[in-house]
Amino acid sequence: MAIDTRQQLLEQGMAMLLRQGYHNLGIAAVLDATKIPKGSFYHHFKSKEDFGLKAIDLYMEGVHAGLDQCLGDKKLPPLQRVRRFFESTEEKYRAEGYLGCLLGGLGQELSGISEVFRRKVEQCFSEISRRIADCLREAIKQGDLPKKTNPQKMAELLVNCWEGAALRTRMRRDPAPLREMLDFYFSSASR
């Protein structure tokens, strides 16, 4: 039961963080939405900050599952696997109403005022970039990218471009910026 309560709080909180941000998220609203008593919240989380950090961990579980599924699909060439990860992420954004990336949203909101959140979000982006870079190394070995390509920088650029496009998609509630960015990036990469 305790794990279910904690998971329920995190899932509801993660959705609310995505919709309204950290500062506009009230613990009482999460408790009301889940019908869980206040004492249960503080049994599982030390503070709102602890709750937010754990919500990021839960979000990253989903990101890693997507990376595992897409990047691990050896039936596809490496560049297609990387693109598939971002396309599947866009599908998730669509299902959520194009609210974008929780990491990007929290990073923009909190990185200037919370060193803990800034470090956490940056660590998450770095891990995503690292995993993509590993797949790009395969693309270099297979001759799909020039040997002189720096896979880590290329992966970081991709994540940076994606986050910017995700922001524009969120503002417009339209997937066009994400799709245009992927088309441009992958057509440029494969030249």
pLDDT of residue 189: 85
Return phi, psi of residue 70, to 5°.
-80, -50
The rounded mean pLDDT for the chain is 95
pLDDT at 191 exceeding the cut of 90: no
Asked whether 186 and 79 are in contact (CB, 8 A), the reply is: yes
Q: Does the predicted TM-score (pTM) go above 0.95?
A: no
**Tokens encoding 122:** 């940056």
Question: Given pLDDT bands bounded at 50, 70 and 90, which one contains residue 186?
Answer: very high
> What tens digit of pLDDT does each residue of 142-173 get?
999 999 999 999 999 999 999 999 999 999 99
The residues, ordered by sequence, that sit 6+ positions from 116 with a Cβ below 8 Å of its Cβ are: 49, 53
State the DSSP string of 121-140. HHHHHHHHHHHHHHHHHHHH
Domain ranges of the chain: 49-189
pLDDT of residue 3: 59
pLDDT of residue 103: 97
* Fold category of 49-189 in CATH: Tetracycline Repressor; domain 2 (1.10.357)
Report which of residues 1 and 6 the model is more confident about.
6
Q: Report how far Cα 149 is from the mean position of its chain's Cα atoms.
A: 25
pLDDT of residue 1: 45
Residue that has been written with the tokens 């599924």 in this structure:
69
pLDDT at 77 exceeding the cut of 80: yes
